[in-house]
Amino acid sequence: MHPNYDFIRPLFCYAAGKMATMRRTKIIINPRPRCMKQQLYLILLLLIAPVFADAQLYVYAGKVLDSKTKKPLAFVSVTIAGQNKGTQSDIDGKFRVTSVNPNEELRFAFVGYETRIVSTPHATELNISLADKSYELKEVVVIAGENPAHRIIRKATDNRAKNNPEKLTSFQYYSYNKFYFTGARDTTAKPGKMITLKDTLDIPGAPENDSLKEASLKEQKRIDDFFNSQYVFLSESVSERTFLYPDLNNEVIKASKVSGLKNPQFVLMASQFQSFSFYKDYIKILDKNYLSPISPGSTSKYFFTIEDTLYNNNDSVFVISFKPRKGKNFDGLKGLLYINTNGYAIQNVIAEPEMSGLFTVKIQQQYELIDDKYWFPTQLNTDLDFSKSVQLNDRKMVGVGRTYIRDITVGVPLRKRDLSNISIDYDKKSISNSAGILDRYRVDTLSDKDRRTYHVIDSVSKAQNIEQKIKVYSVLTKGYIPMGYINMDLNKFIAVNNYEGLRLGAGINTSDKISDVFSVGVYGAYGIKDDAFKYGGNLDLHLYKRNNVKLALNYKKDVSESGAVSFRGERIPFTEKYRNLVVENMDKIELKEISLGFRSLNYLTSVIFVNEITKEVTTPYRFIKYGTFDNRFTYQEIGVTFRYAFRERLMRQAEQIVSTGTRYPVLWLQLTNGFDNLSDMNTQYTKVDVKVQKTFLIRNAGKTSVTAQAGYIDGDVPYPFAYNGKGNDKGKVRLVSDNSFQAMGMNELQRCFYCA
């Protein structure tokens, strides 16, 4: 009997109803028959008690790294050698395995790496390095029958709607986003790839120069010390996302911290680098769309191979590699899919574009089963590698983005009116307490490297006035050069067309330093070919910014293309302006207009306008009016313009709200009544103009944009107030310009008017 249990033997016998006699250190139990059975139970219990006392779970935890790059390896199979029991490293390379044995052999296996078995005691924080597997070219063996990976891919494709989190009725979560930019040691660099001062000192036969070599080593140490102690850039944010099926979505920035910037609206969220999930037909990485390997028909586009089979509790996890098939022309990805047999859902993803340019990008996604029902993304990783374009000695520039999704709630009771059409916004009240919110949602506490980055970059930013320079850049993207209280309009500087030739000018607008409620602008220009000055001005009053209510007064004496139609509030894409180079038929115009613009519904914007417009043709065209031939016409107009973009999503960016687009058609409708004299209300003409724009992705073909436009006039009007077909065929010159006809000559419709 175990000596540690001698003191409890009398208690067991007493519980059995028998008395014990103690003599010094010996205990004599009265061996009567009724106590014998209890004594046998007692002996058995005392014999096995030490076994249960010593039985416990031992924890083996650590991180799996690439032996060369020292980067974490996600989704590595970690099992106890000889067993299926185990786990996978998470998206940060971390793992945790439990066993009843204090010393285990752990097996680490990952596609493309050498399998490694490690014998280790428990309670040791392990850093396991895996080496790249050296592949040898082998004879290609063709096996008859269907690729077994195709069955799994088809099942995953068939279950997309079931497993896609954005097919749920509603959900809500918080995410912590971290992005940093730094210089990582390039372990793949080869001699001659980039010749630096250090490289020249190591070339055999090169002349020895101790002072030069010492200077080079000092410079290398300075670079190493910098990147070992801090990042070049660091940002963090916390956001709350709310989703209501089918596509109502609000993501509100609750906290933000950016190295070098105090303005919380300059936020770079790592989650914006890639699609939220891998279940759509197209996966967005940065600003490009790639065909998903689990989209319908993907087995004819991608080549799939089962690389491994893992075990997760009672489920199997198939590790399937994918890459575009040879000879297939589409934007494709390559990587690994981890398909769990529980619903044939994606558990993990590693993917990168098949073709890369000046930099490479790699994404990783990790999913977890929420409420034992729903597979949901819990972490998104994005890694940018700029080694092809930016390198400093043996260090390459890399960007690292991490998004951790927490506090996931599925089935949140929501109504449509609970969500606005601003998909990304800022909570100005909570963002003032960013420090506390970031502390709550950080996965790890701030490291010394993080803190030094914030401290150093903030100091440099303040000294170099970086934040003000970013504001200047933000204004430049709007087409202005900020100059204190005024902004110079870049669009007014120079233009070229066949009527004016070279057009030179200048324009200024008051900045928000004067007022954010109103702005005043003026411009002037001179056309060298037509030898004429043009000028104009505007006054804009922002009455209610929440609904974009703006009252505008405009005046201009300028030229415009004859018969052209423009919708109030329309922004012409730059690629549509190429046609302006060959436009030669223009009218002299004078416009006086007052308009009121506002957003009346979530997706409807309206502009009401009243104007007086005079147009004078510059061609031999004449119009019979009141029995006389005339080339100058003046009308007053009353009209309204509607723009309807169903489920258009908006984003608050710095101080402005910009559209992120909609997958539905955008409709324009403009109604105009023209009068000879507005006071008499004698209508001369009624115009109805309609335009429909739709941009969509066609599987295997890419992005396509379609625009259909039509107009109707009721009344007898001169050509400048009618329509002109948008041709751009100028003899031998045929420019590719959006929304115009390359095979149609310039002003062909006008020549038809001449013929009439």
Q: Given this model, what pLDDT does residue 723 score?
A: 87
pLDDT bucket at 597, cuts 50 / 70 / 90: very high
304 or 314, greater pLDDT? 304
Asked if pLDDT for residue 575 goes beyond 50, the answer is yes
What is the model's pLDDT at position 196? Answer: 43
**Confidence (pLDDT) at 696:** 79
List, for residues 326-346, the tens digit of each pLDDT value: 888 888 999 999 999 999 999
Please, what's the b/e burial string for 296-310 (b: 16 or more CB within 10 A of its CB; e: otherwise)? eebbebbbbeebeeb
Which position has the higher pLDDT, 675 or 100? 675
* 3-class secondary structure, 625: strand
Asked if residue 309 has pLDDT above 90, the reply is no
DSSP 3-state of 54 = helix
Q: What percent of the chain is predicted at pLDDT more than 90?
A: 39
Q: What is the mean pLDDT of residues 554-573?
A: 89
Which of 687, 676, 685 has the alpha carbon at shortest distance from 626? 676
Quote the pLDDT of residue 507.
Answer: 95
Is the predicted pLDDT of residue 637 greater than 90, yes or no?
A: yes
Looking at per-residue pLDDT, the higher value among 179 and 81 belongs to 179
Q: What SS3 string covers 87-146?
A: EECCCCCEEEEEECCCEEEEEEECCCECCEEEEEECCCEEEEEECECCCCCCCCCCCCCC
Q: Which of 295, 296, 302 is nearest to 321 (CA)?
A: 302
Per-residue confidence (pLDDT) for residue 390, from 0 to 100? 76
Tell me: the pLDDT tens digits for 432-462? Answer: 888 899 999 998 889 999 999 998 888 877 7
Q: What is the mean pLDDT of residues 709-722?
A: 89
How far, in Å, are 473, 478, 561, 576, 577 from residue 571 at the CA level?
Answer: 20, 12, 17, 10, 11
pLDDT of residue 521: 96
Contacting residues for 361 by C-beta, under 8 A, at least 6 apart:
273, 285, 286, 352, 353, 382, 383, 384, 385
Instruction: Return the pLDDT at 23.
Output: 37
Those residues with Cβ within 8 angstroms of residue 727's Cβ, 6 or more apart along the chain or in another chain? 740, 741, 742, 743, 744, 745, 746, 747, 748
Could you tell me where in the chain the CATH 2.60.40.1120 domains are found?
58-130
Which tokens hold the place of 726?
């948008």
Q: Apex CA 552: angle with CA 548 and CA 557, to 5°?
A: 145
58-130: CATH superfamily? Carboxypeptidase-like, regulatory domain (2.60.40.1120)
pLDDT band at 67 (very low <50, low <70, confident <90, very high): confident
For residue 120, the model assigns a pLDDT of 79
pLDDT at 467: 67
- Of the chain, the percentage scoring pLDDT greater than 70 comes to 81
Please, which pLDDT band fits residue 272 given cuts at 50, 70 and 90?
A: confident
User: Does pLDDT of 365 surpass 70?
Assistant: yes
Report the chain's mean pLDDT, rounded to a whole number: 81
- Interhelix angle 448-464/466-477, rounded to 10 degrees, is 70
Q: Which residues contact 231 (CB under 8 A, 6 or more apart)?
A: 180, 181, 182, 259, 449, 450, 453
Predicted local confidence at residue 570, as pLDDT: 85
Burial degree of 359 (CB within 10 A; 0-12, 13-18, 19+): middle
pLDDT of 158 > 70? The answer is: yes
Q: Give 271's pLDDT tier (boundaries 50, 70, 90).
A: low
- At 60 the pLDDT is 87
Across 735-750, average pLDDT: 73
